[in-house]
Amino acid sequence: MSIPGCAAWIQTPQGRYLISWEHAQADRAVADVFGFHAVQIGMPECDYLRNNRIGFKFRCSNAGSVSLLSETHELPLASQSVDLVVLPHVLEFSAHPHQVLREVERVLVPEGQVLITGFNPFSLWGVRRLIARSAGDFPWQGQFLSVRRLKDWLELLSFETGRVDFGAYVPPVTPPRWIEQWGFMDRAGPRWWPFAGGAYVIQATKRVRGMRLVAPAWRDQRARAKAFAPVAQREPVQIERRRRDD
């Protein structure tokens, strides 16, 4: 998914600051995910799979220099064919966020993992979005989704949410010197207001619950009857054969 204005914003000090934090979290999260196929959906300008060791990994978007051109809510991938999916800021800028997640659940193998990044509405970045919504610039035109809402959506699709990290506590200022001056908030934030980071990274695993078939009681009774029948008939037959031999 190519988002208007995203490529230009990533080159700003504000964008570099936030993407740098997200890359650090993604590098840690994907390092030990193994399998055969990994795909990053959206934001082709950034590589969130750079630290993953899966042999075949690629980026998918509806525009840009990617390996697969596709809409994010209609993936041309086989069901249960991907081991790792990364969704960097896709859901909050998609017109069909629920369908995107359903497609991710479809293409993931059982026990496959998804990594989601998003802007936190309950933060200074969320406040900035409320103020600048009419401007329409990236990223303020997005529909910021809370971690609680995403957890609910994931649970409905049988995902088990794992680690959740919050970061980017510096206010959404633009000048580099201001970002540096507010840098102390990145050190104090995880301790004093851990859920108020400007962005978050969520890891989730696709769970496939097994089914146990319970046989009707009459089948159990028949099985027990059949099990005892040969034992009851075996000895008389042997006795009859001995009489004939004598």
Q: Give the distance, in angstroms, between the CA of residue 195 and the centroid of all CA atoms in the same chain.
A: 20
Mean pLDDT on 81-94: 96
Q: What is the mean pLDDT of residues 53-58?
A: 95
How much is the pTM? 0.82
Query: CB-based burial of residue 85 (10 Å sphere; 0-12 exposed, 13-18 middle, 19+ buried)?
Result: buried
The two structure tokens encoding residue 201? 């990274």
Other CB atoms within a 10 A radius of the CB of residue 219 amount to: 9
DSSP state of 123: S
Residues 6+ apart with CB under 8 A from 116: 87, 90, 91, 150, 201, 202, 204
Q: Which domains does the chain have, with CATH numbers?
A: 6-206 (3.40.50.150)
Q: What's the DSSP call for residue 93?
A: G
CA pair distance 232, 114, nearest whole angstrom? 59
pLDDT digits (tens, 9 = 90+) for 42-52: 999 999 999 99
Of the listed ranges 99-113, 141-155, 166-180, 221-235, the least confidently predicted one is 221-235
